[in-house]
């Protein structure tokens, strides 16, 4: 029995000097962890900007296109004077559903364009000159591809994308309105 106790005592004595971790080992481990973390950091930046552009901003331009489309489709087929560039719509001073406009945000037509701020409020504007403080632009075009049918095209675009990655979010909606509806 005496030999067993001696073996345990000498085994325990041998482990005691290696029982802890030195400061140098901790510094080396943290350095390796830091290098790995810095290596994947750009991936996080790309993920955040993609989420903002394709998630938030793309959803907003789609929502604002739909809002304008609903506003235009609520007008009477022969309405050629309602101003939908203000809220609530004015009974005169606008184009209503008169044929014209442009679905290209880079070339808006007068009285067929409006601007919104970052939270979706209309920003007063005249003509095609963008006002200060705009963040979303909506343009619309009314055409008549068939007799007694009007095609309404609404395009919304954001002023700038987040982080400069990818395309600027844009949404285009197209609907048909027929006489007498």
Query: In this predicted model, what pLDDT tens digit does every residue of 88-120 receive, in sequence order?
Result: 899 999 999 999 999 999 999 999 999 999 999
Is residue 84's pLDDT more than 80? yes
Q: Whole-angstrom distance between the N-terminal and C-terminal Cα of the chain?
A: 105
Backbone Cα Rg of the chain: 32
Confirm if 165 and 57 have CB atoms less than 8 A apart: no
List, for residues 30-42, the tens digit of each pLDDT value. 999 999 988 888 8
What pLDDT, on a 0 to 100 scale, did the predictor assign at position 10? 52
Is residue 52's pLDDT more than 60? yes
Assign 56 a pLDDT band (cuts: 50, 70, 90).
Answer: confident
What pLDDT, on a 0 to 100 scale, did the predictor assign at position 5? 52
Is residue 11's pLDDT more than 80? no
**What number of other Cβ atoms are within 10 A of residue 62's Cβ?**
16
Query: Alpha-carbon distance 126 to 119, whole Å?
Result: 20
pTM for the model: 0.74
């Amino acid at each position: 029995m005496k030999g067993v106790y001696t073996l345990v005592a000498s085994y325990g004595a041998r482990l005691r000097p290696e029982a802890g971790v030195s400061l140098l080992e901790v510094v080396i481990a943290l350095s390796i962890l830091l290098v790995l973390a810095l290596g994947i950091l750009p991936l996080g930046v790309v993920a955040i900007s993609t989420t903002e552009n394709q998630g938030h901003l793309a959803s907003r331009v789609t929502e604002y296109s739909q809002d304008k489309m609903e506003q235009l489709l609520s007008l009477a087929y022969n309405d050629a004077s309602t101003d939908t560039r203000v809220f609530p719509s004015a009974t005169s001073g606008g184009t209503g559903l008169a044929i014209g406009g442009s679905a290209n945000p880079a070339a808006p037509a007068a009285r067929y364009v409006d601007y919104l701020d970052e939270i979706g409020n209309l920003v007063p504007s005249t003509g095609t000159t963008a006002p200060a403080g705009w963040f979303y632009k909506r343009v619309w075009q009314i055409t008549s591809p068939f007799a007694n049918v009007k095609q309404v095209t609404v395009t919304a675009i954001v002023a700038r994308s987040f982080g400069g990655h990818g395309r600027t979010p844009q949404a285009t909606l197209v609907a048909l309105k027929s006489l007498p509806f």
